[in-house]
Homo-oligomer: A and B are copies of this chain.
Amino acid sequence: MSTKIPRDAQNDYTPEIAAARRGFVAQHTGASLETVGNYAIAPAACAGNIENFIGCAQVPIGIAGPLRVNGEYAQGDFYVPLATTEGTLVASYNRGIKLVSEAGGVLTTVSEDIMQRSPSFIFDNAREARAFREWVAEHFAEIKAVADATSSVGRLRDIDPYASNKFMFLRFNYTTGDAAGQNMVSKATHAACEWIRANYPKLRHYYLESNFSTDKKHSAINVLRTRGKRVTAECTIPRDLLIQRMRVSPEQLRHARAMSMTGAFIVGANSNGSHVANAVAALFIATGQDLGNVAESSAATSFIEVTDSGDFYISLTIPALIVATYGGGTGLPTQQECLALLGCQGKGNAKKLAEITAALALAGDLSLASAITAEEWVTAHEKYGRNR
């Protein structure tokens, strides 16, 4: 019995070859893949998104909303599709959504939008590396021309250099339109590096990446310098509304947040918010984002205060939110529908989606922080979840 997964040399994205693969693994493992095979999308639509296609994971979607967003791109009330298997999550976000919307909605701001590839350049010594930095600055226009020629969308914005040891790490910052852009910037930076190699003889070697980007990882550099969108959500909740809806006062929340900000500082957490990763992951699955990017997109900085009038101001900055409305998994059927639900289908909508994500994350953080503070957290899970 062969252990080689079946392939179809002519057309590898047909229901037949997918079925053949399911049969193959069933034969090898005894596992039926009936429901996996009962998918609703054309295999051909998956070319470019997957290899060795066998069917689909079906992840339940719950709807939350309406979430009022006062963004520059997202304006109005949104029904948000959340794909998750974690009971209570949709209910908890919905509770926060209701509150922030009643409070007038969430103000959202995208303050940065760049995608990186960060090659490392190796020299004989640090002095050569430093000289190279000067040369790059002088030849930026030529490097940019080479990089930009590789795509109709990606544009090299600037090159941010970091010297260490006998290396120069160059953070190539691109705008990538409404695509997440990781592949686009790889291709562009590869071309730029090859041009550099041809034109800078003292270069000993380069690697297209040496963990300086940092793709699929949380890092201090991403928090400081942005990867993807840097987006902030803000809301002021009137005092009485907060007390009525959440059974906590602004002062109680301030006290609890002081503790959780302190805790986050001591343990070196990548977020001093509550559970941004939940909003990000649920929206990412629904809308066809790259789930590996939850690593960097889960970082967040929360800030709260009680206003002079006794109301509760809360804000949340996600410094490395990677979302796309074009490319990657965004073109697949259920993902397209969920993007359409948010009015975020296709080009021109990536920042809109970033704003909605941040507003959603804020609502969820407010909900969870309130529940912990009001000591209703465990009770909520007993009501909605599986308690396992």
Contact = CB atoms under 8 A, between A and B. Distances in A.
Contact of A3 (B77, B126, B127, B256): B77
Tell me how many chains of this kind the complex includes: 4
A86 to B, nearest CB: 5
Given A216-B275, A218-B270, A54 B63 contact: yes
Contact of A207 (B51, B169, B256, B386): B256
A235 to B, nearest CB: 10
A217 B277 contact: yes
Across chains A and B, which 7 residue pairs bring their CB atoms closest together, nearest first?
A: A85-B329, A327-B388, A220-B268, A220-B220, A281-B291, A211-B263, A295-B298
A50 B79 contact: no
A147 B21 CA distance: 47
Given A183-B387, A266-B212, A111 B125 contact: no
Given A190-B378, A295-B270, A210 B259 contact: yes
Nearest to A190: B378
A41 B35 contact: yes
B169 A263 contact: yes
A330 to B, nearest CB: 8
A380 to B, nearest CB: 10
A6 to B, nearest CB: 10
A295 B292 contact: no
B378 A208 contact: yes
Nearest to A77: B3
Interface in A281-302: 281-282, 284-286, 288, 290-295, 298-299, 301
A334 B58 contact: yes
A94 interface: yes
A165 B263 contact: no
B317 A294 contact: no
Contact of A218 (B90, B184, B295): B295
B260 A36 contact: no
Given A48-B385, A265-B261, A40 B41 contact: no
Given A28-B79, A208-B377, A263-B120, A50 B84 contact: yes
A175 interface: no
Interface stretch (A136-144, A238-246, A335-343): A335-343
Interface in A42-100: 46, 48-66, 72, 77, 79, 81-91, 94
Given A39-B40, A378-B187, A65 B5 contact: yes
Given A109-B126, A263-B210, A334 B298 contact: no
